[in-house]
């Protein structure tokens, strides 16, 4: 998932240019009156308002609740707490399924912790201990499954990741085991990131391609959060390894944006919600019909890019044409409400 700033703070073309439409002078870019027809997996932070689930319930099939993280030594994992189970209860009250995320995000690092993941994945004993904890929590709390969100992995994690998935599947009959994987545009990048795509496709119930953060924190500089062409390339590689079982795949789309200040090379980048991005951009908002995202250059020179309800709806044809299971949105606390046609 995206490295969300929990406090939620943290290229102009002319109208004549093909594929670029600017918002009229004096107007604020409003949420698009756009809807999706595919089922949606909506991600939700455990501490966010459960009313966010209800606001998008018409489009949501399942909620992925973030969740729990492994310990830095790779030997254990926490149980979902009361904030997480309140999200579970809200989803179930609306007739929606709910999976709990297990990840390797480190609050102390402010990033995903690959060494912690390796300590877990390289040890059969550690895998079994973590699976036993997840089995107990999932069954006693009533979760419908587990979504594996181990990120920033390396090639050395490949076999351990598959062992973890298979062990978790065996321990949770009748439950779903999904995995979220980072989007790349070459086969080698997927391999270097510990993803044996063919084996993963066979092992999991659902595979979510996190097709966002093409640009964001780090040294990427300003640009689309997840341009449609970039997403399409990564998705094409994944589907070549699915053995025709495209219905297992979910396309993950951003529901947020970034603001790059003029000193972004020093790390001055904020994550913004869709509503914040529109408020900041006002009449400067420009729709990029190639990336299928909004962008704006503000008076202080900072640059915004964000993906909203219109961006999500524009991915619908890709989902339909490729026979995917549906869409996923990260996350309800940042995105526009999701509607279904």
Tens of pLDDT along 130-152? 999 999 999 999 999 999 999 99
- Report the share of the chain in percent with pLDDT over 90: 89
pLDDT for 31 equals 54
Mean pLDDT of 66-70: 97
pLDDT for 16 equals 27
Q: Is the pLDDT of residue 173 over 60?
A: yes
Among residues 199, 327, 197, 219, which one has the least CA distance to residue 263? 219
Phi, psi (5° rounding) for residue 96?
-105, 150
What CATH class has 36-254+308-330?
Answer: alpha beta
Among residues 149, 163, 139, which one has the least CA distance to residue 113? 149
Domain residue ranges in the chain: 36-254+308-330
pLDDT for 21 equals 36
Phi, psi (5° rounding) for residue 76?
-155, 180
The predicted model scores a pTM of 0.92
């Amino acid at each position: 998932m995206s490295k969300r700033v929990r406090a939620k703070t943290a290229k102009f073309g002319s109208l004549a240019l093909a594929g670029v439409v600017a918002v009229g002078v004096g107007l604020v870019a409003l949420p698009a009156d756009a809807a999706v027809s595919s089922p949606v997996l909506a991600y939700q932070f455990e501490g966010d308002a459960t009313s966010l689930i209800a606001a998008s319930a018409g489009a949501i099939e399942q909620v992925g609740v973030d969740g729990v993280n492994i310990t830095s030594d790779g030997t254990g994992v926490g149980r979902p707490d009361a904030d997480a189970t309140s999200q579970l209860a809200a989803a179930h009250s609306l007739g929606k399924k709910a999976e709990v995320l297990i990840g390797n995000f480190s609050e102390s690092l402010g990033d995903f912790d690959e060494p912690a993941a390796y300590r877990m994945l390289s040890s059969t004993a550690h895998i079994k201990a973590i699976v036993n904890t997840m089995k107990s929590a999932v069954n006693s709390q009533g979760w419908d499954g587990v979504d594996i969100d181990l990120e920033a992995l390396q090639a050395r994690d490949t076999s351990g990741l598959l062992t973890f998935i298979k062990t978790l599947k065996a321990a949770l009959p009748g439950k779903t085991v999904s995995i979220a994987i980072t989007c790349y545009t070459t086969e080698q990048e997927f391999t270097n990131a510990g993803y044996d795509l063919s084996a993963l496709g066979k092992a999991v119930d659902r595979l979510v391609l996190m097709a966002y953060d093409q640009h964001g924190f780090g040294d990427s500089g300003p640009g689309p959060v997840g341009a449609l062409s970039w997403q399409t390339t990564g998705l094409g590689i994944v589907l070549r390894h699915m053995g025709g079982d495209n219905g297992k795949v979910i396309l993950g789309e951003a529901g947020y944006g970034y603001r790059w200040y003029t000193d972004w090379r020093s790390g001055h980048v904020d994550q913004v919600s869709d509503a914040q991005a529109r408020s900041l951009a006002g009449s400067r908002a420009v729709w990029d019909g190639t990336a299928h995202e909004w962008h704006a250059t503000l008076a202080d020179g900072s640059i915004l890019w964000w993906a909203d309800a219109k961006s999500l709806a524009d991915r619908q044809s890709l989902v339909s044409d490729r026979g995917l299971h549906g869409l996923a949105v990260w996350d309800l606390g940042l995105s526009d409400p999701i509607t279904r046609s």
